[in-house]
Amino acid sequence: MVELIVSLGRLSIGFLCLLGPVVVLFLLLHIHKQRKNVLLTSVLRELNRPDLRGLVRVSAQSGLFGADTVELGLRHCLRDQAWGTIEKISAQLAEHVRIEVNGIADCRARSTWELRVMRTRPSVSCCPL
């Protein structure tokens, strides 16, 4: 009876060693997909306005352990629309999310630039007189 319990214990440890990494990998991929979906949903919630429909292209990438990136294609938006969109989206996203903006229609050069929004409290400095 003891040998049966020991052999079942060894068998269960063997299955755990074989299937454990696969389960962990699937769990990490599921978390990665959920982070990307939450990020994309929060961006699309802000872009669901009648004046922006058909003008903005959105792409979201989520790192497994690192920073997330939202890429906005604003090539058909005017400058005021683009800045309003960037302000609204950056207010809703977490501080580790990077926003990349691709071009604005009325700019001289079509460019890609990165906007990083820092949400820290300003520090008060004490200056001796």
Has residue 7 got a pLDDT over 60?
Answer: yes
Helix axes 79-92, 2-47, angle to 10 degrees: 150
Of the pLDDT bands very low, low, confident and very high (cuts 50, 70, 90), residue 26 is: very high
Distance CA 58, CA 60 (A): 7
Mean pLDDT lowest for which of 45-54, 91-100, 120-129? 120-129
In which band, very low, low, confident or very high, does the pLDDT at 97 lie, cut at 50, 70 and 90? Answer: confident
| Domain ranges within the chain, ordered by starting residue | 2-115
**What is the band of 61 on the pLDDT scale with cuts at 50, 70, 90?**
confident
- Does the pLDDT value for residue 113 go beyond 70? no
